[in-house]
Chain A
Amino acid sequence: MKIVILGAGQVGSSVAENLVSEANDITVVDTNAERLRKLQDRFDLRTVTGNAAHPAILAQAGAADADMLLAVTQSDETNMVACKLAATMFNIPTKIARIRSADYLSHQEIFAPQNFAVDLSICPEQVLTDYIVKLLEFPEALQVLEFAGGKVSLVAMRAFHGGPLVGHELQYLRQHMPQIDTRVAAIFRHDSPIIPEGKTVIEADDEVFFIAATGNIRGVMRELRRMDKPVKRVMIGGGGNIGRRLAKAIENKYEVKIIEFNKAGAERLAAELDKTLVLAGDVTDEELLEAENVGEMDVYCALTNDDENNIMSSLLAKRMGARKVIALINRGSYVNLVQAGQIDIAISPAQATIGTLLAHVRRGDCVAVHSLRRGAAEALELVAHGDAKSSKVVGRRVEEIDLPKGTTIGAIVRRHERGGGREGDGKTAYDHEVIIAHHDTIIEPDDHVIVFVVNKRMVSKIEKLFQVDVSFV
């Protein structure tokens, strides 16, 4: 696929990195030549220096025969103009723009094809905020990802001594909780994947990925470890874009304190937030953390834009007694260094947000993609099209599908037309049924299938599997 990326900032660079590795032709446009040179040194891609909203620059970047435009510069306005140009002058089929301003987002009509022609607007900060909000809701989980509009969840968590299932075979889960249907998609032990089977024994410190209907996940989590008290007090270090959004999202639910270094920034925060206590100070200031009782916090989130500060500050908080610490870490090497050590959860912004984009780059009808374990594994939500003849999955039992090794079909979301709907009103009401996949589950046309892939290299095979074979039509 030929992809033009506008903006070589954090989002642009990490997207480029991910897409290059998947054999795409990437061109990155930015005004900062220095940044582009660094990018070009590291990856196999083309760069163009200049204003991303200028037709000449877009033409130079090969917009004329591009398949996709990713406008992810810092400026909403540049992104929107670039999408409009891409539509009017270059006819690029897919145009994705990063739009941060809530004001624009509240008027979706301006993104229509006849207006700014933005096919998909993404806001990485919002994705990241939602991600952290979920973690606060389930403090025992390492990651909570939603599929099929939130009906199915994939949860990653560490098994601890004391969980009823720990030390038992997986099939015991069935006997222990007959009323809850779940499927363990993968287990990572000492960072290497184990394909779960009925006889697999869960050990303490295993990282377990399971899929269940969203309403059931708390019940499943209880099997793997003792549950913590629900989160009540949260401290946020860093009141930047993400810290501010997070505080705003959770201030009515938890007691929130937020620390911001910049005095003017702190005042803006205090003006915007109603219940949050805004503190002016340094996130690595031990005395400040002590004075503000970081030891009594249920969760401490270090969300500044500086990796080192986040790591130091969360280590400090952990040592001072914070029950759980979350740190935002951009550099992949740092993530591997600190995760599962003192820091409970290291979030890589790039990994957390890349999924939204990947879903559009994938072949086949891919609804959602979530990047897992620093991009090594992936969970996809694919739609099974076609029929038993044209498709390799439809009409087959799960055990009959020729899945590559290391992939698991976790769940299926099936749409039923709701009975009793008025005829001829053009709108059909649907009920969604969540089916946890077992070996004898049969896949029907238009099912949403959630697939777990322990190794990303297998993704292309999965894509092929779900593509409708044209020769049969």
Chain B
Amino acid sequence: MHALLTVARPLGLIAMVMSLFHLLPLGVSLAYRDGAEFAFIFSMALNCAVGYLVWVTTRRHQRELTPRDGILLVVLAWCGGAAFATLPLLLAIPGLSFTDAYFETMSGLTTTGATVLSNLDVIEPSINIWRGLLEWLGGMGLIVLAVAILPLLGVGGRQIFRAETPGPMKDEKLTPRITETAKGLWVVYGMISLACVIAYGLAGMSWFDATMHMFSTMSLGGFSSHDASFGFWNSPAIEAVAIVFMLIASVNFGTHFLVFKARSAAPYRHDPEAGWCVLVILASCVGIAAYLLAMGAYPDFWTALRFASFNVVSIASTTGYANTDYNLWPIFAPMWMLFLGSFASCSGSTGGGIKMIRARLLYIQVYREFVKLVHPSAVTPAKLGGHVIENKVIFAVLAFMFIYICSIVTMTLVLMLSGLDVVTAFSATVASINNTGPGLNQVGPSTTYSALSDFQTWVLTFAMLLGRLELFTLLIVFMPVFWRK
């Protein structure tokens, strides 16, 4: 109980900050006269009041946060944030159940981008901008989560580079203090976001759409203000802009920060993930394009390449945009895209999945085992980017992998038990746990998650949060050991 009181105070603060962010959709609502202004004013007032009350009443419980408090804070921030954020939706959209609204906001805050809403083109613009904003804020919170909180848990994968700092990566610990680091990262996030809006605007989007899509591109979320997603514009220029910024957002923002600070591209080269991430994704684009051409899905290579690259980058980076119904492609292509989404993006980015660094560590570990079989006396430390990775990190990654796979299997089975077909159940689980968004079949890019039952919706809501908080962070809260004094 004491721990709850301690984290209540920062939670109150977060609620007050959230209320500030209501100003943007409120402004949009007033500008477009879409009639949702009351919903936002009410929600804003409630956020502010509740936040202030909590903040004031827990004044006496202020103390330094321990790692355990940090975990609790993160879990409650995401759960509570999603709950509060449902208010405008519930008030502005008649007939929307709390289950669906919570799914929608959780999908936003976890930057998943799966939606239960249809008729997005006619929905209030302020609601659309609110959805986008949730994703953008989720991405922002996530960057700090990855930089500051996960390393405390020892599961982030990145903390291995923090202790030792020889060679070209000596700036890896970005600044000495977490708050300074967070500020620096937000500045970089903000600046790239600004560039993204301008690029979208210049490529032909309306400035409203540009802002809305910048929000979901930078956070690798995938919400769109159109039912047809990027198919609405059918413009290669806009798609190219989206591809570039999705790739940028799938690279560690810490690395972007270093590049920004050092004014040289060297940190990208020394980053153990960035190169692999971009390489794997781009190679897949070409490969899928060739496959689609061979299967006769498109008449010529350039068309195939255009559709393949946009959708592959979108799904592999766990964004979830689509410019065509790739559900109709031969099953290998969308499956491969979903698979990429589970590992292609970098740690410290806004993408989901197990992250490239864990994938590389797993590969290195497998290779070590092979070497050990052939040369029993060999000494083979796991090395990544010239650094020796301690065995305990490898163990953490293996445990992470085990839970990841168990979670996918369990939830797929639960969804099948509740009546979904295997492809829908599996793809929905994978798309949710990786924070991708659209799955296949019933939850494919051309449909929404609204057809699912309440139970199935809650399972997937849980899956999104689970994936977003990198499994351990969420699961540990359910462990008795966490609550023991």
Q: How far is the CA of A425 from the CA of B54 in the complex (A)?
A: 78
Assess whether A271 is in contact with B377, with CB atoms less than 8 Å apart: no
**Does residue B170 face the partner (Cβ distance < 8 Å to A)?**
no
For chain B residues 68-99, which have a beta carbon within 8 Å of chain A? none
The answer to whether A277 touches B376 (Cβ under 8 A) is no
Residues 246 to 279 of chain A near chain B (Cβ within 8 Å): 260, 263, 266-267, 269-271, 274, 277-279
Residues of the A chain whose Cβ atoms lie less than 8 Å from the Cβ of B371: 277
Q: Given the complex, which residues of A lie within 8 Å of B378, measured CB to CB?
A: 277-280
Please give me the residue from chain A that is nearest to B371 by CB atom.
Answer: A277
Q: B388: CB under 8 A from chain A?
A: yes
**Residues in A whose Cβ lies below 8 Å from that of B375:** 277, 279, 291-292
Q: Are B379 and A267 in contact (CB under 8 A)?
A: yes
CB-CB < 8 A to A260: which residues of B?
379
Report chain B residues within 8 Å CB of A269: 379
B387: min CB distance to chain A, Å:
8
Among A274, A280, A288, the residue within 8 A (CB) of B379 is: A280
CA distance A271 to B386 in the complex (A): 8
| Inter-chain contacts of B376 with A (CB < 8 A) | 291
CA distance A14 to B383 in the complex (A): 40
User: Is A281 an interface residue when CB atoms closer than 8 A count as contact?
Assistant: yes
A271/B380 in contact, CB under 8 A: no
Give A281-314 as 1s and 0s: 1 = Cβ < 8 Å from B's Cβ atoms. Answer: 1000000100110000000000000000000000
Complex Cα gap A301–B251 (Å): 45
CA distance A260 to B378 in the complex (A): 10
**Is the CB of B204 closer than 8 A to any CB of chain A?**
no
Which residue of B is nearest A264, CB measured?
B379
Q: Does B236 contact A (CB under 8 A)?
A: no
Closest to B383 in A: A271
The distance in angstroms between the C-alpha atoms of A266 and B386, with both chains bound, is: 16
In the complex, A277→B380 CA distance in Å? 8
Q: Interface residues of A toward B: which range?
A: 10 to 19
- Assembly CA distance A147 to B390 (angstroms): 47
- Residues 29-54 of A contacting B (Cβ, < 8 Å): none
The answer to whether the Cβ of B190 comes within 8 Å of any Cβ in the partner chain is no
Residue of B nearest to A266 (CB): B379
B381 touches A288 (CB 8 A): no
Q: Tell me whether B381 and A267 are in contact (CB under 8 A).
A: yes
The CA of A31 and the CA of B216, in the complex, are separated in Å by 70
Rounded to whole angstroms, the CA-CA distance of A90 and B480 in the bound complex is 74
A286 to chain B, nearest CB (A): 13
Specify which of A270, A277, A292 is in contact with B381 (CB 8 Å cutoff): A270
Q: Report chain A residues within 8 Å CB of B388.
A: 267, 270-271
A-side contacts of B380, CB under 8 Å: 270, 278
Most A CB contacts (10 A, CB to CB) among B379, B383, B386 go to B379
Taking a contact as CB atoms under 8 Å apart, the answer to whether B383 and A288 are in contact is no
Partner of A279, one of B379, B381, B383, B386: B379
- Closest B residue to A239 by beta carbon equals B379
Tell whether, in the assembled complex, residue A280 and residue B377 are in contact, meaning their CB atoms are under 8 Å apart: yes
- Bound together, the chains give a CA A267 to CA B379 distance in angstroms of 6
- B376: nearest chain-A partner, CB-CB: A291
Interface residue ranges of A178-211 to B (CB < 8 Å): none
Bound-state CA distance A281–B371 (Å) is 16
B265 to A: closest C-beta gap in Å: 23
Contacts of A277 in B (CB 8 A): 371, 375, 378
The complex places the Cα of A288 from the Cα of B371 at a distance, in Å, of 15
The residue in chain B whose Cβ has the minimal distance to the Cβ of A260 is B379
Closest to B380 in A: A270
- Identify the interface centre among B375, B377, B378, B380: most chain A CB within 10 Å of its CB: B377
CB A367 to nearest CB in B, in angstroms, measures: 37
Question: What residues of B have a CB within 8 angstroms of the CB of A279 in the complex?
Answer: 375, 377-379
Smallest CB gap from A277: residue in B? B378
Chain B interfacial positions (CB closer than 8 Å to A) = 371, 375-381, 383, 386, 388
Can you list 27 contacts pairing A with B, beta carbon distance less than 8 Å?
Answer: A260-B379, A266-B379, A267-B381, A269-B379, A270-B379, A270-B380, A270-B381, A270-B388, A271-B381, A271-B383, A271-B388, A274-B383, A274-B386, A277-B371, A277-B375, A277-B378, A278-B378, A278-B379, A278-B380, A279-B378, A279-B379, A280-B377, A280-B378, A280-B379, A291-B376, A292-B375, A292-B377
A residues engaging B (CB < 8 A)?
260, 263, 266-267, 269-271, 274, 277-281, 288, 291-292
Per CB-CB distance, the 9 closest pairs between chain A and chain B, nearest first, are A266-B379, A278-B379, A271-B388, A270-B379, A279-B377, A281-B377, A270-B381, A280-B379, A280-B377
